Amino acid sequence: MNRVSSALLAIAVSFGSAALALAVSYGIIAATGGDPNEAARALWDGAFGSRAQVAGTLSELIPLVLVALGWIVAFSARRINIGFEGQILVGGACATWVALKLSLPHPLHLGLATAAGVLGGAAWVGIAAWLWAKRSVNEIISTLMLNFVAIQLISWLVRGPLQEETRGFPRSAAIPESARWPKLLVATPLAWDLILALAMVVAMWFLLRRTSFGFAIRLTGANEVAARHAGIATTAVTVGALLISGGLAGLAGASLLLGGESTSMTDNFSAGFGFTGIVVALLARGSPWGVVPAALLFAALRQGGGLVEARAGISSALVLITQGLVIVFVAGSQFLLDRQRAVRVDATTPGSGAPLPSGI
């Protein structure tokens, strides 16, 4: 089986796992006395039932796509970045700071605020990258712990330097229109940053598959010793992959504040996108192209979950249950795929008793 066929099979298995998770959730609703058909209709209407709902779903998709791409870049170098929540928060805070402290014409103001978000996210993961490169600190632990530091940092900012003038609410002043993305659909939360997110899908695919740096990232992730022997500076490449990963999360944070419905920064604006984005990346099997449909699924769950609770009387916690089931089933399917590949390799190994290809 060639590489393309294997990738398509893996993605098909992932979405089959997601369908199974939805089916199990459907069964849970029925088993607990709910109406699963009404819940399904409410979920659909909440996510795609009107122009405004579609726009809301696509708005939810933007940060999920960016975070998932960040996971894919880092994991291609076999680094596990689970600090996306913190990187989103710091990126959003940097974007807000530039938006509030500078007064510039619209395109320039928006561009600088967005760039500040990217740099903020990259700098925050850069702390973990430096600790890994210089002190061999496990990046899983450091990125996780930095999430809690970021939470406290944002809490201080919205109650201190960036708090709105009345000091009555823990939030920043309103971000000026000159630093906000224009609306893609009028009278909806959907802004032009959707196009930027989709452009990042193409850019990250091109980076990983069509550039020498992307090849260095993938070779380092596949076999660091072989990469060193090939003359690749594996430490620098890995740090670079982590910085790109954090920059994408910072861009997601900037997008939430410069393009979202809220015009002010609060201390909980990340709304769990950092962790959900990791699930999106797992469902996409590390493929930038698979990120968009995977993100659309989870965006629909997030957007439609509220209506499920309101109309069908079913707790919106079902969305979290479904996400957990997706993780379990995707992980299980990966285990089965790995076993199948191992059996196929064993069957062609000398001494296994299986016939060998002709000429060997």
* Four-CA torsion 253, 245, 275, 145, nearest 10 degrees: -90
* 356 located within any domain: no
Residue-level pLDDT at 349:
54
pLDDT at 351 over 60: no
* 90 located within any domain: yes
Residue percentage of the chain with pLDDT more than 70: 89
* 357 located within any domain: no
Of the listed ranges 89-93, 114-118, 288-292, the one predicted with least confidence: 288-292
Question: Coil, strand, or helix at residue 183?
Answer: strand
CA nearest 94: which of 255, 241, 272?
255
Residue-level pLDDT at 203:
97
* 36 located within any domain: yes
Q: Which residue has the higher pLDDT, 337 or 193?
A: 193
pLDDT at 155 over 90: yes
* 351 located within any domain: no
Residue-level pLDDT at 346:
56
Residue-level pLDDT at 5:
65
C-beta contacts of 135-144 below 8 A and 24+ residues apart: 139/79, 139/80, 139/81, 139/242, 140/80, 140/82, 142/83, 143/80, 143/81, 143/82, 143/83, 143/86, 144/82, 144/83
CB-based contacts of 285, cutoff 8 Å, min separation 6: 7, 10, 11, 14
* 1 located within any domain: no
Alpha helices in the chain (DSSP H): 3-31, 36-48, 51-76, 84-101, 106-135, 139-157, 193-210, 212-222, 224-229, 234-258, 273-283, 288-312, 317-347
Residue-level pLDDT at 355:
46
pLDDT band at 359 (very low <50, low <70, confident <90, very high): very low
pLDDT at 266 over 70: yes
Look over the chain and give the mean of its residue pLDDT values, rounded to a whole number.
87
Radius of gyration of the chain (CA): 22
Residue-level pLDDT at 341:
61
Residue 198 burial (CB count, 10 A):
15
pLDDT band at 348 (very low <50, low <70, confident <90, very high): low
pTM strictly above 0.95: no
In the chain, how many domains are there? 1
- Mean pLDDT to the nearest integer, 14-24: 80
Integer Cα distance of 310 and 306 in angstroms: 6
- Mean pLDDT to the nearest integer, 262-290: 89
- Mean pLDDT to the nearest integer, 257-264: 88
286-309 pLDDT, tens digit per residue, is 889 989 998 998 898 888 887 877
Integer Cα distance of 193 and 171 in angstroms: 23
Residue-level pLDDT at 358:
39
pLDDT at 230 over 70: yes
Q: Which residue has the higher pLDDT, 6 or 318?
A: 318
Q: In CATH, what number is assigned to the domain containing residue 252?
A: 1.10.3470
Beta bridge partners of 163: 172
Integer Cα distance of 146 and 125 in angstroms: 8
Report how far apart the first and last C-alpha atoms of the chain are (Å, whole number): 19
Residues 117 and 99 sit within 8 Å (Cβ to Cβ): no
Residue-level pLDDT at 29:
81
Two tokens, residue 98: 């530039």
Give φ, ψ of 104 to 5 degrees: -140, 165
Domain range holding 297? Answer: 10-325
Residue-level pLDDT at 137:
95
- Mean pLDDT to the nearest integer, 169-183: 93
Of the listed ranges 101-105, 146-150, 330-334, the one predicted with least confidence: 330-334
Beta bridge partners of 296: none
pLDDT at 212 over 90: yes
94-103 pLDDT, tens digit per residue, is 999 999 999 9
pLDDT at 71 over 80: yes
- DSSP assignment, residue 163? B
* 4 located within any domain: no
* 204 located within any domain: yes
Two tokens, residue 288: 């930038």
pLDDT at 241 over 90: yes
